[in-house]
Amino acid sequence: MFIDEARITIRAGNGGHGCIAFRREKFVPRGGPSGGDGGRGGDIYMIADRHQNTLLRFRYNRLFRAGRGRHGQGSDKHGRGADDMHIAVPLGTLVYDDDTGGLLHDFLTPGERWLAATGGRGGRGNAHFASSVNRAPTKAQDGEAGEERNLRLVLKLLADVGLVGFPNAGKSTLIASMSAAHPKIADYPFTTLEPSLGVVAADEDSSFVMADIPGLIEGAHAGLGLGIQFLRHIERTRLLLLLVDVSGGNTEDPVSQVEILRSELAAHDPPLSGRPMIVLASKMDAADAERVRRLDQWCGQQNTEFARISSVTGSGLDSLKRAVTRKLRSLEMAMDS
């Protein structure tokens, strides 16, 4: 099950208490204080794990507590510090403070480690309080409480390319044809119920990650259909592929479909409408020539790159890989300059 939002509570470990003790040794009738310090409570760290792709585990396990430090003992024995806790989260997870709404951290790098809650300091034993005027102190410190936080986790998949289109535009078939991803494919709308990622090998030296989200419909940004739930997963993509079904069985105007898709993207997140994109005429194996011509003409007027593909026959897929690779490299060069 794909879960991309969860709420959890984390509690770092409490520090151990300091000890009140005095030396009791043979031939030392007036031994001094010997109470040891308490151990430090365990910290809680979050780590980005590239092998995870859902927040499902946090739906059933919402409380994470690190161990507490051991109490101090006599003979100046310090309590043992607790082990730190490490919580693995998917790459692309954003961590918000659920009480204030503020963004605390964004995991963008595999293996990235972030201190989410600090363990409490151990209390000092009475040996620390001895002085020239108080040689037998009878006080010690309690350990400090560990930090506690209520967190909201939001997953935004990290992908280079995002597939956008109406239901049954051919997105799932495309990602299945170009990568090892296995999304559900059927001849009825909304067969894709969750995002999927696929790694596309463009050539021997390069590859890119493609994300397929459920089909959009007009009004998706306002909650219609399934798109609103997953639109966040293309916010991080550098390039968008807009798929338009140009087969003879589709009676919708292809230009209107592109314009609706772009308006839905802009309504969800304005910068998305200006994201580099390639318009794809999908299902060319059953294409209506007039629909293809109108879409090609509109893309030329809008100065938008246009490509013809058929995921069933494989026509145009190699050219598409090269076009996407070329586009991503140009974007990288623009960022470096």
Boundary (domain end) residue, out of 136, 155, 174: 155
Same domain (yes/no): 150, 225? no
Whole-number Å distance between alpha carbons of 294 and 282: 14
The answer to whether 66 touches 11, Cβ cutoff 8 Å, is: yes
Same domain (yes/no): 244, 114? no
Q: 26: which DSSP letter?
A: T
pTM value?
0.72
Angular region, 303: left φ>0, alpha ψ -120 to 50, beta rest: left
Whole-number pLDDT of residue 13: 96
Whole-number Å distance between alpha carbons of 194 and 5: 13
Whole-number pLDDT of residue 223: 47
Q: How many domains would you assign to the chain?
A: 2
Same domain (yes/no): 131, 193? no
Whole-number pLDDT of residue 216: 61
Q: What is the CATH number of the domain that holds 313?
A: 3.40.50.300
Q: What is the CATH number of the domain that holds 62?
A: 2.70.210.12
Stated as kind and residue range, the H or E segment containing 265 is helix 254-268
What is the span of the domain harbouring residue 224? 161-336
Same domain (yes/no): 27, 139? yes
Same domain (yes/no): 92, 146? yes
Q: 241: which DSSP letter?
A: E
Whole-number pLDDT of residue 185: 45
The answer to whether 170 touches 163, Cβ cutoff 8 Å, is: no
Same domain (yes/no): 294, 149? no
Same domain (yes/no): 141, 174? no
Q: Which two tokens stand for residue 45?
A: 């760290």
With CA atoms as reference, report the closest residue to 275 among 322, 215, 316, 328: 328
Whole-number pLDDT of residue 189: 41
Whole-number Å distance between alpha carbons of 327 and 8: 40
Same domain (yes/no): 267, 322? yes
The answer to whether 156 touches 272, Cβ cutoff 8 Å, is: no
With CA atoms as reference, report the closest residue to 90 among 109, 103, 64: 109
- How many Cβ atoms are within 10 Å of 295's Cβ, its own excluded? 22
Boundary (domain end) residue, out of 155, 185, 215: 155
Tens-digit pLDDT string for the chain (337 aa): 567 789 999 999 999 999 999 887 777 666 789 899 999 999 999 999 988 878 888 988 899 999 999 999 988 899 999 999 999 998 889 999 999 999 999 998 989 999 999 999 999 999 888 888 888 888 999 999 999 999 999 988 777 888 888 887 788 888 888 876 554 444 434 444 466 777 788 776 678 888 887 656 555 444 444 445 567 777 888 899 999 999 888 888 999 999 988 888 888 788 887 889 999 999 998 888 999 999 999 999 999 999 999 988 999 999 999 899 888 888 887 766 6
Whole-number pLDDT of residue 194: 60
Same domain (yes/no): 147, 165? no
Boundary (domain end) residue, out of 123, 155, 187: 155
Same domain (yes/no): 90, 111? yes
Strand partners, 47: 88, 113
Whole-number pLDDT of residue 140: 92
The alpha-carbon radius of gyration of the chain (Å, integer) is 29
Find tokens 């998305």 and name the residue.
272
Amino acid at the residue 205: D
The answer to whether 157 touches 5, Cβ cutoff 8 Å, is: no
Q: What is the 3-state secondary structure (H, E, C) of 266-330?
A: HHHCHHHHCCCEEEEEECHHHECHHHHHHHHHHHHHCCCEEEECCCCCCCCHHHHHHHHHHHHHH
